[in-house]
Amino acid sequence: MGMTMTQKILAAHAGLPSVRAGDLIEAKLDLVLGNDVTTPVAVGVFDEAGFDSVFDPEKIAIVLDHYTPCKDIKSAELCKTARNFAKRFGITHLYDVGQAGIEHALLPEKGLVAPGECMVGADSHTCTYGALGAFSTGVGSTDMAAGMAVGENWFKVPAAIRVTLTGTLPPYVSGKDVILHLIGEIGVDGALYRSLEFAGEGVAALSMDDRFTIANMAIEAGAKNGIFPVDGVTDAYLKGRSKRPWTVYEADPDAVYAETVTIDLSTLESTVSYPHLPENTHPANDGKDIAIDQIVIGSCTNGRLSDMETAYRILKGKKIADGVRGIIIPGTMAIYRECVVRGWTTAFIDAGCIVSTPTCGPCLGGYMGILADGERCVSTTNRNFVGRMGAKTSEVYLASPATAAASALTGRITDPEPYL
């Protein structure tokens, strides 16, 4: 019986010739990730368990991104705990203020992720790295502590859903619209503890940034991970980034899938997820009567350079609507710098937006964009649960950077097609 991409990677890291869905395995890890919220919890578990060393200080990454620069005393203490732990064990990849970025945009940029690797992170959107053909998944802080200590974690091998992509995207549609469409089709538990494995000739038409966005939100369909095949687009992205050799795994022709979903990319339109679940999807054009108070363009889902470029193309030379707050957050310091060099930051400010250094802030209701009672936000983030971005009565509408930027100009949910 053949194996899927995910199953092949897990088998290799478990030292087994093959695995099947449902098997319990112990797999070696190539990277363990934590942030300023989850690392301090993991440190507490690590110390309580009596561990006195880490398995490899070069295979642990700590990214201070959720509340930094620290917004209050509590967040400062969390960051201090993470910094002290990194210093104590000589952890190479500590990314603090000035070097940090939003973790799932930063790690691929730094070349810390490569095809065929197995990695975990104490953050649910660690599944982002499947865009590079790696197995990556979110874990709790206890598993992070164990991973840092021994370099292994237990896994239940997931069954898989094959998502076959055909065609090419219209110019105003992006990876965010693809994943919102998929979640709208299968639901937020449609891939529960399964691997979403993307395949088909349509994959080649997706940029690397599109793939990152799609893999990032696999968890919003309940998936254990999302994963893309490795091709020329992947190789071009990794060139000059990854400094180590990698292994490419491909699904066997007779791999077993729990089900198959086919998406014709050419038929997709700009899509918005209404409150309070990502599966509550509607065409952007249906929202023209929904007034908004704020837009956010950024996050680990959509804070990459192409996202900034899309916002620039729509906002340059224009002004956002009166009463709308525009918040733009590049995903890493390198992207932030590039926005400055290219003049995009000036264009955003001239349009009436603010531009922040990298932070997860508003996505999780942390800071830099909290919503008040009854306010509405069109956001390029990944979750729109009740109270996700502030007051329990506020509303978050998930959308692409193009839709968010167009909506900022009109003050209502707006299809971006006329603006691109």
Q: 330 with 307, same domain?
A: yes
- What is the rounded average pLDDT for all residues in the chain? 96
CA trace torsion 370, 373, 374, 375 (10° rounding): -20
Q: 235 with 311, same domain?
A: no
Q: 324 with 199, same domain?
A: no
At residue 420, the pLDDT reads 82
Query: Confidence band (pLDDT; 50, 70, 90) for 255?
Result: very high
At residue 85, the pLDDT reads 98
- Both ends of the chain: CA-CA distance in Å? 47
CB atoms within 10 A of CB 369: 24
At residue 119, the pLDDT reads 97
Whether 176 and 278 have beta carbons less than 8 Å apart is answered as no
At residue 243, the pLDDT reads 79
Residue 238's domain comprises 5-264
pLDDT at 169 over 90: yes
At residue 240, the pLDDT reads 87
Render pLDDT for 353-372 as a digit per residue (tens, 0 to 9): 999 999 999 999 999 999 99
HSE-CB for 347 with a 13 A CA cutoff: 18
Q: 174 with 253, same domain?
A: yes
- Domain boundary residue, one of 207, 238, 264: 264
**Average pLDDT for residues 165-172, to the nearest whole number?**
95
pLDDT at 110 over 80: yes
At residue 377, the pLDDT reads 98
Q: 284 with 401, same domain?
A: yes
- Domain boundary residue, one of 239, 264, 289: 264
Q: 312 with 237, same domain?
A: no
**Average pLDDT for residues 158-162, to the nearest whole number?**
97
Q: 278 with 360, same domain?
A: yes
Helix axes of 305-315 and 401-410: crossing angle, nearest 10 degrees: 30
Q: 303 with 232, same domain?
A: no
**Average pLDDT for residues 408-414, to the nearest whole number?**
97
Task: State the DSSP string of 255-275.
Answer: B--SEEEEEEGGG---EEEPT
Render pLDDT for 204-252 as a digit per residue (tens, 0 to 9): 999 999 999 999 999 999 999 999 999 999 999 999 898 788 999 999 9
The C-alpha atoms of residue 175 and residue 162 are separated, in whole angstroms, by 17
Q: Residues of 124-153 as b/e, b for ≥16 C-beta within 10 angstroms?
A: bbbbbbbbbbbbbbbbebebbbbbbbebbb
pLDDT at 67 over 80: yes
What's the CATH number where 85 sits? 3.30.499.10
Strands of 205-287, DSSP E: 225-227, 259-264, 271-273, 281-283
At residue 393, the pLDDT reads 97
Q: 193 with 337, same domain?
A: no
pLDDT at 352 over 80: yes
pLDDT at 1 over 80: no
Task: Indicate whether this model's pTM tops 0.85.
Answer: yes
Render pLDDT for 16-58 as a digit per residue (tens, 0 to 9): 999 999 999 999 999 999 999 999 999 999 999 999 999 999 9
Q: 56 with 195, same domain?
A: yes
Q: 260 with 298, same domain?
A: no
Picking from 233, 189, 186, the residue whose alpha carbon sits closest to that of residue 211 is 233
Task: Provide the number of structural domains found in the chain.
Answer: 2
- Domain boundary residue, one of 215, 240, 264: 264
**Average pLDDT for residues 116-135, to the nearest whole number?**
97
**Average pLDDT for residues 297-314, to the nearest whole number?**
97
At residue 242, the pLDDT reads 84
Query: Confidence band (pLDDT; 50, 70, 90) for 12?
Result: very high
Query: Confidence band (pLDDT; 50, 70, 90) for 265?
Result: very high
Q: 368 with 254, same domain?
A: no
Give the Cα-Cα-Cα angle 144, 116, 51 (nearest 5 degrees).
25
pLDDT at 171 over 80: yes
Query: Confidence band (pLDDT; 50, 70, 90) for 68?
Result: confident
Whether 181 and 220 have beta carbons less than 8 Å apart is answered as no
